[in-house]
Amino acid sequence: VQPGEVAPDFKLPSSKGGEVGLKDLLAGGKENLVVFFRPGSRFTGGDVQELRAYAKCQSVLEELGASVVSISMDPRAISASQAKFCKADFPLLSDVTGTVSKSYGSFITLDLLGESVDRKTYIIGKDGKVKAVFPFVGFDGTKDEIAFHLGQVALALGGDPKIAIQKVQPRQKTVGDMLAVLGVNVPKDPKSPVVR
């Protein structure tokens, strides 16, 4: 599936209960839908990182007019458990047979592990057409690569990638931050003495 093409329709079991279809998601009031395919529980470490990153960035994507949904081959019960564990407030859909993943070109067969979902992200407009496609960072993506990926998704939605990146990977605390917590006044001029 490429930009400009109509996104394949689907209806899948949701981690939130019931079944959810593409038409339902597009009718949800947002201008865009971010659909990210993930391998699910077969690749627990990377999958958890990816889900947590999207959960942290969900508010940024929503402010940019997009709702979020994830698709994997995990059964609904596992998806519901993962959603709770990763604090993901968006639906995790269960494509147990891989049919939807195949229709989007997000299905792969790995030599040692067999069939799986390939990590890809699609932005779908309210008209049902694909606006953008992002290959993901691979099964061993680092936190920095995942944050950069979400920055690119935010950019495609018209947002500032830095905001998305900071949501996923907040700035590290500095010595100045820690001194401020302790009530130490840190002068702007490094030659000035520290004042309490």
CATH topology (fold) of 11-181: Glutaredoxin (3.40.30)
pLDDT score, position 151: 96
Is the per-residue pLDDT at 38 higher than 70?
yes
pLDDT digits (tens, 9 = 90+) for 107-137: 888 777 778 888 899 999 999 999 999 987 6
Cα 60 to Cα 13: distance, rounded to the nearest angstrom: 26
pLDDT score, position 141: 72
CA dihedral 94, 96, 97, 103 (to 10 degrees): 30
Task: Report how far apart, in Å, the C-alpha atoms of 180 and of each of 136, 151, 174, 195 are.
Answer: 39, 30, 10, 12
Amino acid at 173: K
pLDDT score, position 36: 93
pLDDT digits (tens, 9 = 90+) for 97-111: 999 999 999 988 877
pTM of the model: 0.83
Per the listing, tokens 């889900």 go with 51
- The mean per-residue pLDDT over the stretch 47-52 comes to 84
pLDDT digits (tens, 9 = 90+) for 144-186: 888 999 999 999 999 999 999 999 886 666 777 667 777 777 6
Per the listing, tokens 């949701």 go with 14
Buried b / exposed e over 68-79, threshold 16 CB at 10 Å, is bbbbbbbebebb
- The mean per-residue pLDDT over the stretch 10-38 comes to 94
